[in-house]
Chain A
Amino acid sequence: MGKEQEKARDGQLVLRGQQGDRQALGELVDHYHGAVFRLAFRMLGSREDAADVTQSTFLSAFENLQSYRPEYKFFSWIYRIGVNEALDFRRRRQGTEYLDESLPDQSAGPELVARHGELRKEIQAALMQLNDDQRAVIVLRHFSECSYGEIGEILALPEKTVKSRLFEARRQLKGSLQGEV
C-alpha cells in the first residue's frame, strides 16, 4: 500500500474513531503499534519501558483524537506523540541506566550471537549517549526510515534543522562507535 493510500485509509479510520468507532481505533493500533514500539525502544533502550510508552502514546492519541488534523499524516502524528512520550518517560527516569533487552538472533552460532549481542549493546549505548534531540532524528531516520520532511513534521522542525541535527548526531555517533566505524 502506497503512502497516499495509507494516508487515506488512516484518515477514514480516524474519522470513524472520532465518531466513537472503537473498532476503527483498534485498526489504527494494529497498523502502528509495532512501529511506535520500535521507535520507543530505540529512544529508551528497554522493551518494558517501550511497551509502557507505546500504551501511553495510543492512550494520549485517543484522548486527543479531536485535535488530529487530516492534512497531517496519522503516522507523523502518532510518532510525534510517541517521541514526546518517550522523552517524557526518559526525563522521569533520568539517571537510570539503560538495559539492552533486545533478543539475540539464536539462529546464528554462539560466537556470532555473542558478537552480535555486543554490537547491539554498543549501538544502543551509542544511541543513548546522544542527546534527546539527536537521538530522535537518528531513530526516525535510520530505524523508522522517515524522510527529512517527515522528521520535520514529527518533531515540528524545519527541514534545514533536521539536516543539521542529523549531521551532528552522526558525527557524535561516529565518535561513540569508533571501533565499528
Chain B
Amino acid sequence: MLSDFDKQALQAGFDGELDAREWRRLQDNMRDSEAASAYLAELETIHQVLDGAQEVPVPSGLTDAIKQSIPAQREVHHSRATLRGKAPGARRPLPPSGSKPAAAKPGVSRAQFGRGRDTRQPGAAVNWAGGLALAASLVMAVGLGVQFYGGSELGMDSHMRSRMTGALVDPAAMEAAQHWQWDAMDTRIRLMRSAAGLTLELEADADPAADLVLLVSGDQWRWRQDAASADLSTGRGAAPRQLRLAVNGEQRYRLELEPATRDGEIAQGSLPAPRIKLEVQRDGHLLDRAEIVPD
C-alpha cells in the first residue's frame, strides 16, 4: 500500500520534476512494489487520455482583434510613476484572482482608454470634461433605480425628478468633486447627477495594488444591488453599502447609487445627500481614509 506521500513522490518523478539521481533512487526503492507500478501506470493512462483531447484551433481573426485593442499610448504611465516617486520596476505583477482589479468583475465592461491619466498635483482644477470621456472607457455599468418616497418635502425649483419613479432628489446637495493623493493611492471622484440619478465617477491609481473601500453610511443609500458580486460585501440586510474595489495601477469606474430598501420595501422619509466614506486598505490594514463631502 502506497501512502499519498509516496504517490506524490512518484508523481513528481513521472512529471520530470526530480533530477535523474533522485528519480533513479526512488525507482530502486519501489522496484518491488506492485502498488508503485500500478500508480505509475495510472499516471501514464491519465496522461494518454488527456492527450486524446485534440488541440483546438485558434479562431481566425482573433489575433487581429487583439491587436486592434492595443492601446495607442503607454508613455503616460512613466510620468505617473515619476510623479509618485516610484520606479516601474517596483511594481508587482498582476495579483491573484482574489485581489484582481475589479474592472474584470461582473457588470464591468472594458474599453480602451482614450488618453492618459491627469497627473496634476492636488489642488489643480480637475478636468472633468476629459474625466467624463475617460470614465466612459471603463465602466461599472449599472443603472440607477430611484424608487424613493417622500421627495415632495423638497422644493421643486432646485430638484430633479427621477425619470423612473417621479421621486425628487436634490442635485445641488449631492454633487462633489474631490481629489486625494495618498501615498498608497491617488484617487479622484466626482459625484453627480446623471440622466437617471446619481453617479460616482472614480479614478484610482495604486502601486502596489491596494483596495479602495467605499462605504455609504446611513440607511438610505446603497450601491446598486445588481452590481453585487464577490467584491461587493453587504451591510445590514440585503442592502449592499460597502463596495470594495481592488485597484492595481490605474483604474476607472462608474458606480451608481440607489436608495436602500428594507426587506424588499421601499425606504421612507426624506432623501439626504449620501455620505460616502473611503478607505484605502492593503492586506486588511487601513492606510488612509476620507469622506466625500458635497460641494
Q: In the complex the two chains form, is A62's CB within 8 Å of B71's CB?
A: yes
Scan A164-181; emit 1 where CB is below 8 A from any B CB, else 0: 101100100110010011
Interface string of B1-29 (1 = CB under 8 A from A): 00010011001100111000000000000
**A contact residues around B94 at 8 Å (CB):** 60-61, 64, 67, 77, 80-81, 84
A33 x B58 contact (CB < 8 A) = yes
CB of B129 closer than 8 Å to a CB of A = no
**CA A124 to CA B52, docked complex, whole Å:** 11
Are the C-beta atoms of B57 and A55 separated by less than 8 Å? no
Q: Is the CB of A141 within 8 A of B69?
A: no
Interface segment out of the listed B84-92, B186-194, B235-243: B84-92
The answer to whether A174 and B7 touch across the interface, beta carbons within 8 angstroms, is no
The one of B11, B57, B96 in contact with A163, judged by C-beta atoms closer than 8 angstroms, is B11
Known contacts A33-B63, A66-B77; A56 and B207 CB within 8 A of each other: no
A116–B55 Cα gap in the complex (Å)? 12
Q: Establish whether residues B91 and A155, one from each chain, have CB atoms under 8 Å apart when the complex forms.
A: no
**How many angstroms between the C-alpha atoms of A65 and B71 in the bound complex?**
11
The answer to whether B92 and A102 touch across the interface, beta carbons within 8 angstroms, is no
What A residues does B17 contact at CB under 8 A? 147-148, 163
In angstroms, Cα B65 to Cα A140, docked, is 25
User: Is B42 in contact with A25, judged by CB distance below 8 angstroms?
Assistant: no
Given A51-B62, A55-B66, A64-B249 in contact, is the A181-B11 Cβ separation under 8 Å?
no
Nearest B-chain residue to A169, judged by Cβ: B46
Q: Report whether A167 and B100 are in contact in the complex, using a CB–CB cutoff of 8 Å.
A: no
A37 is contacted by which of B46, B50, B58, B101 (Cβ under 8 Å)? B58
Q: When the two chains form their complex, are residues B93 and A77 in contact, meaning their CB atoms are under 8 A apart?
A: yes
In the complex, the answer to whether B248 meets A64 with C-beta atoms within 8 Å is yes
Residue-wise, chain A 57-89 has the 8 Å CB interface mask toward B (1 for contact) of 011111111111110100001001101110110
A69 touches B93 (CB 8 A): yes
Q: Which residues of A contact B101 (CB under 8 A)?
A: 60, 64
Choose among B12, B54, B63, B92 the residue that contacts A30 (Cβ–Cβ < 8 A): B63
By a CB distance below 8 angstroms, the chain B residues around A72 are 93
| A37, chain B: closest CB distance, angstroms | 5
**Size band of the A side of the interface?**
35 or more
Closest A residue to B104 by beta carbon equals: A88
A153 to B27 CA separation, bound complex (whole angstroms): 29
Q: Which residue of A lies closest to B89 (CB)?
A: A69
| A51 contacts across to B, CB distance below 8 A | 59, 62
B127 at interface, CB cutoff 8 A: no
CA distance A83 to B95 in the complex (A): 11
- One digit per residue, 1 when the CB lies within 8 angstroms of any chain B CB and 0 when it does not, for chain A 107-127 equals 000000000100110011000
Closest residue of chain B to A88, judged by CB? B104
Is A54 at the interface (CB under 8 A from chain B)?
A: yes
Best-surrounded residue of B16, B59, B75, B81 (most CB of chain A within 10 A) = B59
B49 at the interface (CB under 8 A from A): yes
Mark contacts of A133-165 with chain B using CB atoms, 8 A cut-off: 1 yes-contact digit, 0 otherwise. 000001001110001100000011000000110
In this complex, what residue of B is CB-closest to A181? Answer: B45
- Whether A102 lies near B106 (C-beta < 8 A) is no
Interface positions of B (Cβ within 8 A of A): 4, 7-8, 11-12, 15-17, 42-43, 45-47, 49-59, 62-63, 65-67, 69-75, 77-78, 81, 88-89, 91-94, 96-97, 100-101, 104-106, 110, 113, 207, 230, 248-250
Residues of A bordering B, CB below 8 Å: 17-20, 22, 25-26, 29-30, 33-34, 37-38, 41-42, 47, 50-51, 54-56, 58-70, 72, 77, 80-81, 83-85, 87-88, 91-92, 101-105, 116, 119-120, 123-124, 138, 141-143, 147-148, 155-156, 163-164, 166-167, 170, 173-174, 177, 180-181
**Closest 9 A-B residue pairs measured CB to CB?**
A67-B91, A66-B77, A123-B53, A84-B97, A142-B50, A20-B74, A102-B56, A92-B106, A180-B49
